[in-house]
Structure 1
Amino acid sequence: MTVSERYDNEDFKQALTVLKQGGIILYPTDTVWGIGCDATNDEAVNRIIRLKQRVSGKGMISLIDQPGLLNIYLDRIPDMAYDLWEIAEKPLTLIIPGAKKLAKEVMTSDGSMAVRITKEIFSKTLCQRLKRPLVSTSANISGEPTPRDYTQIDDRIVKGVDYVVEYRRDDVTPETPSGIIKLGVNYEIEVIRK
């Protein structure tokens, strides 16, 4: 099934309004459907943790629309990060040390940021208009399987957010989570998920 590159402007405006007001949304990403909020908003991030019944302190993936924003949220970006994103054949999340200006629970316990540069039209445009990183945690209760499309999302998640995006709900193309690589302060590389 081919997914249209066009989305409904009213749907988009509603999602953006909810995010700007500190709410949480259920939305399609460049990988699986995600639960999202402004990654700098502690209260919204804590709502997502409660909704997912997730242990705190694990950190959450954030989406950004362009690499130029990384300097705002990270002390230093290893050149290797840009190289890895450039050669990646599928969406890639990098865990980079030295996070700043993010909600406490978005950062990992060692103060790192898990970040992915999204190229998917809806999530990319949300990031551009929000002008902040967008939390992108899988739309499941912690410990349960990650839904591969909208139809597999648990009703508790759907009812627990402030807005559910209409765009791509009918797309049943099975999606998979991103690859994850952790970068160390001394240029170590650890593959977390292929």
Structure 2
Amino acid sequence: MKIINLKKEFEEKIIKDTLTVLKNGGLVIYPTETCYGIGADATNPKAVEKIFQYKSQRRGKPILIAVASKQMAQNYVKINEIAENLYQNFLPGPVAVVSKSRGKVVSRIESTIHTLGIRIPDYPLVLTIIRAFGKPITSTSANTSGKKTPYSLEDILKYTSKKRLGLIDLFLDAGKLPSRPPSTVVDTTLNEPTVLRQGEIVIPDIPGQTFVSNSEEQTKLIAQEILEKYKNLLISKPLIFALQGELGSGKTQFAKGLGQALKITSNIPSPTFIFFREYPYKTASNQGIFYHLDTWRMEKGEELLDLGFKKMLGPTNVIAIEWLQKVKSILEEISQKTKVCLVWVTIEILSETKRRINYCTAI
């Protein structure tokens, strides 16, 4: 693997060497405004196969591509009105727009329903390289499956096997990048824009989403699915799940699902009589504390602060709050003044076993 220090090499030489690798079907690790990505010619089947070998990624899981402009994107996807709005307002930047593919890239990059996610990185050197190459390159984080998101050369070397490092032809070293969440991914192929992965950029005017659960186990699985959408934010802020619902609606089951997603093996009972419980957790990408609070016995919202709530608001921590009605105004105030991701979850009883679960976000 050849390493080019971007601070010490002339840009012309950097671009020339990168283009040589891409044209020969090689792999390049490059910096972006989010993290280090791994790039290959998105129209070259052999190059794309190397990406999947490096990532150790299952078939059927799509990969984003990076282009230099909306005009280039139009050659590869069908841009509708929803997508047009996103391109105009958020790109270049850490947002990926999923549209119907025109079938001009390697099919493995697309989803099984032939959609394709496109990024325009907010990184001038990368845009210059893509323009000079004249074709899109892959835009997936340069970590192998399940490993830490890479923000430096050291991250790559520490968490990548020698065998996989052998697949990399060139590393464009910009030094240690700021630790930021990956890009927000928005599907524009449906009637409403749908956030598939929440990143640092929040797309406004997207309504809350709704699930229907037919059992306690399904409620837990829904909680895990919702957490999966927001887990990338944990690197820079805590996640707060504000749970609303009648007695017996399943708020504690939802909290248990969050705990399972965080690989917590101990039982998670309701903390009604002690106000809160805490559970250290460690996953492949994060470690922190899961706080489970119940404010039912509180007489006023300020009691939440008396519990030391603000000390719980560290990055990587996950907080589930049951019976939030008494502390709702406090939470809203905190979310406006503090760097948090606040997910409002409403659980409605439809029958003895059936629940409607709606969630929306304030970030």
TM-score interval (norm. to shorter): 0.7 to 0.9
**Whole-angstrom distance in 1 between the partners of 2:73 and 2:99:** 10
Runs of 5+ in structure 1 lacking a partner?
A: none
- Deviation string 1:154-179 (CA, Å, 9 cap, x unpaired) is 3435442111123x1x2342232111
- 1:14-45 Cα offsets, whole Å, 9 max, x none, are 11110011111111123210111011111100
Matches within 5 A, 1:31-50: 31-50=34-53
Question: How many corresponding residue pairs?
Answer: 187
1: distance between equivalents of 2:12 and 2:181?
A: 27
Structure 2: stretches of 5+ with no match in the other structure: 1-5, 199-363
Counterpart in the other structure of 1:15 = 18
- Higher-RCO chain (CA-CA 8 Å, sequence separation at least 6): 1
Q: 81-90 or 100-109, which moves further after superposition?
A: 81-90
What is the rounded CA distance, in whole Å, between the counterparts of 2:127 and 2:182 in structure 1? 17
* Cα pair 1:29 1:122 within 8 Å, conserved: no
SS of residue paired to 2:20: helix
Where is the strand percentage greater, Structure 1 or Structure 2?
Answer: 2
Q: Where does residue 173 of structure 1 map in the other structure? A: 178
* Secondary structure at 1:34 match in 2: strand
The structure having more radius of gyration, on CA atoms, is: 2
Aligned to 1:80: 82
Bigger drift between 121-130 and 149-158 goes to: 149-158
Q: Is the 1:182–1:191 Cα contact (8 Å) retained in structure 2?
A: yes
Sequence identity of aligned pairs in percent? Answer: 27
Give the match for residue 138 of structure 2. Answer: 135
The amino acid of 1:144's aligned partner reads K
The whole-number CA distance in structure 2 between the counterparts of 1:108 and 1:9 is: 36
Work out which of the residue numbers 178, 189, 192 in structure 2 matches 1:188. Answer: 192
CA RMSD in angstroms comes to 2.1
Per the alignment, residue 68 of structure 1 pairs with: 71
TM (normalized to structure 2)? 0.48
> How much does 1:151 deviate?
2.5
Alignment-mate amino acid for residue 183 of structure 2:
S
Deviation at 1:56, TM superposition (A): 1.5
Q: How many Å separate the matches in 2 of 1:12 and 1:171?
A: 21
Partners of 1:78 and 1:9 in 2: CA distance: 36
Inter-partner Cα distance in structure 2 for 1:138 and 1:7? 25
One-letter code of the match for 1:192?
L
- Choose from 118, 123, 126 the match for 1:123: 126
The residue aligned with 1:55 is: 58
- Contact kept, 8 Å, 1:19 with 1:38, in 2: the verdict is yes
